[in-house]
Amino acid sequence: RNGIQRPKGYTVSYHANPEMEKMHFGPKHPMKPWRLTLTNKIVLAYGMHEAMDLYIPRAATSQELKDFHREDYIEFLQRVLPTDNTWDQESGQYLFNTGDDCPIFDGLYTYCSLYAGASLDAARKLTNLQSDIAINWSGGLHHAKKTEASGFCYINDIVLAILQLLLYHPRVLYIDIDVHHGDGVEQAFWSTDRVMTLSFHKYNRAEFFPGTGALDDTGPLRNDSPGAHHSLNVPLHDGIEDDQYIKLFQDIVRPCVRTYQPTVIVLQCGADSLGGDRLGCFNVNIKAHGACVAFIKKFGLPMLVLGGGGYTARNVAKAWAYETSLCIGAEVHPNLPAHTPYLEHFGNEKTLFPKLDSLNRYENKNSRVYLESVVMGIMEQLRYLQG
Ligand code: ZL4
Ligand code: CA
Ligand code: ZN
């Protein structure tokens, strides 16, 4: 009915479990799993499901979670209740870094095992050759560490998915366009040359979470460590604009792919890099965010597409629905279909591409010269990988 057809010559799989969407981090917490409901409603309203294989993923087993995380941490997540006292007298901290950012809420373990299961299923569709582009908008939780929660992330589904891909792929390129640094993924693969991590983010060591990801943090310093020069970081300032972001992304990703020659790409599409995000500080519009996805798709490599941050739900849903349409190669009408559920939630902006209003703009602190120096810094790292 919407004229949406299956892409010719490749398969897209879409992994979404509606059980996750009901979860609540607690009053006023910025992370709203409900944004996933809104995303899926738009995807379905456009009829995009006609063009993809839809899967309701299973929960990951505790054994699978332990492929990256330490046993005692997983057992803690399995056992802990919102009513428990998790304050540790000895360390003077909450256990495993739970607290305001990473609260213990009802159904926490179910939530974690569902988003991790979805990323694992998606990765396995790629390695089974049953899918060429696998999408899990509930995943992309890049801050979680081996033994602790961090920045709204408990289980690092990205690390688990990459470990799956590494069973079949010699080289994985991980690209992260969330406004925050992808520190958990970087740390997990810091010492290997089989994963290259590349994060674009707002960087301010003292003032912006997590404070890591400087241009010269590129892997172990010893030149004989395989991981040297395989962690790349693109530190940005407030207010970057569409044309700057797209050019920077392409000018950096193109040589990374040419030099590293990955056999699969994992793309974390955190939507907090959009203008108007509750936690973000860029001026990037949905079309420019999507242009990154479209650019990666053009390499024709198998691709795992994940969510991440994104705290202004109506924008997150539009961006991820639009990016789903780019993955299937469908042109969608810019106006949301009239039968979209929750249409009232979008106020008077019933378009996929709302204009960033001037009240929400950040002053652009990224000069042309600064961005050129960042590209040069990355090129310098890539030179170490040649020959
Ligand atoms: C909140 O209102 O910068 C959590 C977090 C909970 C509700 C009630 C508690 C009020 C903003 C954030 C007190 C909250 C204090 N509630 C939170 C250093 C901080 C210590 C914790 O997109 N306080 C920590 C994490 C970042 C910090 C960003 C991005 C995830 C991702 C991938 C994670 N943490 C200062 C903040 C609120 C809250 C309001 C909040 N937390 C904003 N930024 C952070 O990269 C998914
Ligand atoms: Ca990032
Ligand atoms: Zn983020």
Considering the candidates 69, 181, 201, 229, report the single residue annotated as catalytic: 181
**Is 181 labeled as catalytic in the residue annotation?**
yes
pLDDT of residue 2: 61
C-beta 21 within 6 A of ligand 1:
no
Query: Does residue 1 sit within a domain?
Result: no
Least confident of 21-25, 83-87, 372-376: 83-87
pLDDT band at 332 (very low <50, low <70, confident <90, very high): very high
Q: Which atom of ligand 1 is nearest to the CA of 142?
A: 32
Query: Does residue 358 sit within a domain?
Result: no
Number of domains comprising the chain:
1
Query: Does residue 365 sit within a domain?
Result: no
pLDDT band at 93 (very low <50, low <70, confident <90, very high): confident
pLDDT of residue 21: 92
Q: Which of 31, 209, 272, 278 maximizes ligand 1 atoms within 8 Å of its Cβ, making it the mutation to test the pocket?
A: 209
Domain assignment of residue 286, given as a range? 12-351+370-385
Distance 204 CA to ligand 2 centre (A): 13
Query: Does residue 4 sit within a domain?
Result: no
Across the range 92-114, mean pLDDT stands at 96
Query: Does residue 140 sit within a domain?
Result: yes
pLDDT of residue 85: 86
| pLDDT, mean over the chain | 97
Query: Does residue 360 sit within a domain?
Result: no
Across the range 359-367, mean pLDDT stands at 97
Sequence-separated (6 or more) residues with CB below 8 Å from residue 225: 191, 219
Distance 198 CA to ligand 2 centre (A): 8
CA 280 – CA 288 distance, rounded (Å): 15
88 compared with 365, residue with greater pLDDT: 365
Whether residue 387 is predicted with pLDDT greater than 80 in this model: the reply is no
Across the range 120-143, mean pLDDT stands at 98
C-beta 337 within 6 A of ligand 1:
no
Query: What are 347-357's pLDDT values in tens digits?
Result: 999 999 999 99
Distance 100 CA to ligand 1 centre (A): 7
Least confident of 78-82, 249-253, 355-359: 355-359
Counting beta carbons within 10 angstroms of the beta carbon of residue 62, is it exposed (0 to 12), middle (13 to 18) or buried (19 or more)?
middle
Query: What are 21-65's pLDDT values in tens digits?
Result: 999 999 999 999 999 999 999 999 999 999 999 999 999 999 999
C-beta 152 within 6 A of ligand 1:
yes
Q: Which of 23, 97, 100, 207 maximizes ligand 1 atoms within 8 Å of its Cβ, making it the mutation to test the pocket?
A: 100
Any idea which ligand is nearest the CA of 177? 2
C-beta 151 within 6 A of ligand 1:
yes
pLDDT band at 90 (very low <50, low <70, confident <90, very high): confident
Distance 213 CA to ligand 2 centre (A): 9
Residue 322 sits in a domain whose CATH number is 3.40.800.20
pLDDT band at 153 (very low <50, low <70, confident <90, very high): very high
Distance of CA 99 to the CA centre of its chain: 22
Query: Does residue 325 sit within a domain?
Result: yes
Q: Which atom of ligand 1 is nearest to the CA of 209?
A: 3
**Cβ(250)–Cβ(243) under 8 Å?**
no
Query: Does residue 316 sit within a domain?
Result: yes
Q: Record the pTM.
A: 0.98
